[in-house]
Structure formats: C-alpha cells, structure tokens
C-alpha cells in the first residue's frame, strides 16, 4: 500500500486538519508516513500545500516527485489546477468547486473546472453546500476529507476516529458536525466514483 497525496488550499481552509486526520488514521492502521508542508499566511489568503506520503513500506523522502501523486485533494479549485502537473497519469483530483477569491484576477470558475474535468479521474464537490447542510460551512474541509476517503486506502472507521480525536477538545457537538460533514463528502464521492 502506498499513497502520495498533495493537499492544497488557502490558509485558514483547514488543510492541515485534513492532513492530521489522514496521518492519525494511517498510524492507527500501522502505516508509515512522511509529510512536508508549505504554509501561506491565512490572514493574507496565502496558499497552503502539504505533501503527504503513506505506505506500508519505509518512505525515503517527504517530497512527492512531479507526475507521481496518486491524489490531489484540494479545498479550492484554482489550487487543484495549480498542482495538476504533480498528478500521476492514473491519479485522482478531488476538489471543492467553491473558489476562494483572494486575488483581483482570479480566473473564471468555468475555465478552471473545465481543465479539471479533462483529467482522467476526478471528483468535484460543492463542499460549502454540503458543510452548510451538515451544520456549518466551517466543516467544508471535513467534507473534502470524506470525498477523498474512498481513494486513500484507509478504513472509514479509522478516519472517523481521527476526526473524533482531532475535534474532541472542542466538544461533542463539533465532533458530531465534522463526522456528518465527513460522511456527506464520502457518500457523494462514492456516488461519483465509477469502478
């Protein structure tokens, strides 16, 4: 088992919480992991990306080579587009369709999505809407974790345990909200992924 995952988004969107959940679940399942992060300043809408590698074998480097990522998991469509060169030919793009417009010349959303939809494998998600339905737009990152979950090679139970562990300090209502968001994203992805 080996998964190389690029996590992408903008500061404040919860990328690192997604990475923490995947990492905790991987460790829970006895896997090894390496991670490298680049943090933009959330106050300025800076880009955040993480290279997350999980495997049942030793991992030599924390950096994913270009064209070798199994998954690009993005909470923002332009950030997904930015990392398409990192994707393996059989890799998956899992991205929110909700733009974070933090620059005056943000491209047309239709043009961004058209490029993403040219990929061989993709799941596009209205994460904001699903998160609102789950109880709060703040849980959009957990919708995206759920949407990627069928592709991660980790059990849903291990991922839900990680979500619980990550949010327990904030109270049961926040844990429940994030679990609902995770499950909504997972159900959507399972309905979109063709065998």
3-state DSSP helix/strand/coil % of the chain, to nearest 5: 50, 25, 30
Q: For residue 166, what pLDDT band results from cuts at 50, 70 and 90?
A: very high
Which percentage of the chain shows pLDDT scores above 90?
81
pTM higher than 0.85, yes or no?
yes
- Compute how many other C-beta atoms are within 10 angstroms of the C-beta atom of residue 166: 18
Mean pLDDT of the 2-28 span: 92
The yes-or-no verdict on residue 43 having pLDDT over 80 is: no
Mean pLDDT of the chain: 93
Give pairs for 29-38: CB < 8 Å, separation 24+.
29/154, 29/155, 29/158, 30/56, 31/1, 31/55, 31/56, 31/154, 32/56, 32/57, 32/58, 32/59, 33/59, 34/59, 34/61, 34/62, 35/62, 36/62, 36/63
The yes-or-no verdict on residue 105 having pLDDT over 80 is: yes
Mean pLDDT of the 110-116 span: 96
pLDDT in the model for residue 42? 55
Taking alpha carbons only, the member of 18, 21, 136, 15 closest to residue 79 is 15
SS in 3 state form for 121-146? EEEEECHHHHHHHHCCHHHHHHHHHH
The yes-or-no verdict on residue 77 having pLDDT over 90 is: yes
The yes-or-no verdict on residue 104 having pLDDT over 70 is: yes
Which of the residue ranges 9-18, 29-38, 96-105, 146-155 would you say has the lowest mean pLDDT? 9-18
pLDDT in tens, 129-146: 999 999 999 999 999 999
């Amino acid at each position: 088992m080996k998964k190389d995952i690029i996590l992408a988004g903008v500061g404040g969107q919860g990328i690192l919480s997604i990475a923490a959940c995947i990492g905790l679940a991987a460790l829970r399942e006895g896997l090894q992991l390496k991670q490298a992060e680049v943090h933009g300043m959330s106050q300025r809408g800076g880009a955040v990306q993480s290279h997350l590698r999980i495997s049942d074998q030793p991992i030599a480097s924390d950096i994913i080579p270009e064209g070798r990522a199994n998954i690009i998991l993005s909470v923002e469509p332009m950030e997904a587009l930015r990392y398409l060169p990192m994707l393996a030919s059989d890799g998956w793009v899992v991205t929110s369709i909700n733009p974070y417009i933090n620059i005056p010349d943000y491209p047309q959303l239709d043009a961004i999505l058209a490029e993403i939809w040219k990929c061989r494998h993709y799941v596009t998600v209205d994460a904001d809407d699903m998160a609102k339905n789950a109880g709060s737009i703040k849980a959009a990152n957990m919708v995206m974790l759920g949407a990627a979950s069928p592709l991660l090679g980790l059990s849903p139970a291990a991922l839900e345990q990680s979500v619980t562990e990550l949010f327990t300090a904030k109270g049961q209502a926040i844990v429940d909200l994030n679990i609902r968001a995770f499950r909504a994203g997972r159900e959507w992805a399972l309905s979109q992924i063709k065998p």
